[in-house]
Amino acid sequence: PCNLTGWWENDLGSRMQVFKVGNDGTFSGEYHTAVSSAKKAIQPSPLIGSQHLDEDGQCTFGFTVNWKKFSDSTAVFVGQCFSGDDGKDVLHTSWLLREKVDSESDDWKATR
């Protein structure tokens, strides 16, 4: 079965570390993004999530990253873990990022 514990890296060079997945599927860790439009220097950011544990091991999961150390934004990721033929686990994810805007009329441009 897929175990999210450990280091993961995406195609853009961002990395995340999942510290430990609990028996109930909850986990925490840090996200080290390689890309940002923030003006402040990028810093590792806390993440918290949950993994759906099932018998075939190709589990779905989701987590939230709070970029509070360098940006006024929050991101959510959802995905699934696949066990490849070569024995390596691969994560496929989609994400939404919400940036803070100054007014309700700017709400339309706040989510990517």
Q: C-alpha distances in angstroms, 58 versus 17, 33, 54, 109?
A: 19, 25, 8, 35
Tokens coding 60: 């779905």
Domains of the chain and CATH, by start: 6-34+43-102 (2.40.128.30)
Q: Decide: helix, strand or coil at residue 107.
A: helix
Q: Is the pTM of this model over 0.75?
A: yes
The span from the CA of 27 to the CA of 19, in Å, is: 7
Q: Which of 17, 44, 41 is nearest to 6 (CA)?
A: 17
Cα 3 to Cα 100: distance, rounded to the nearest angstrom: 33
Per-residue pLDDT of the chain (112 residues; tens, 9 = 90+): 688 999 999 999 999 999 999 989 999 999 998 887 777 778 889 999 999 877 766 689 999 999 988 888 999 999 999 887 888 889 999 999 999 999 999 999 999 8
- Region at 25 (left for phi over 0; alpha for psi -120 to 50; beta for the rest): left
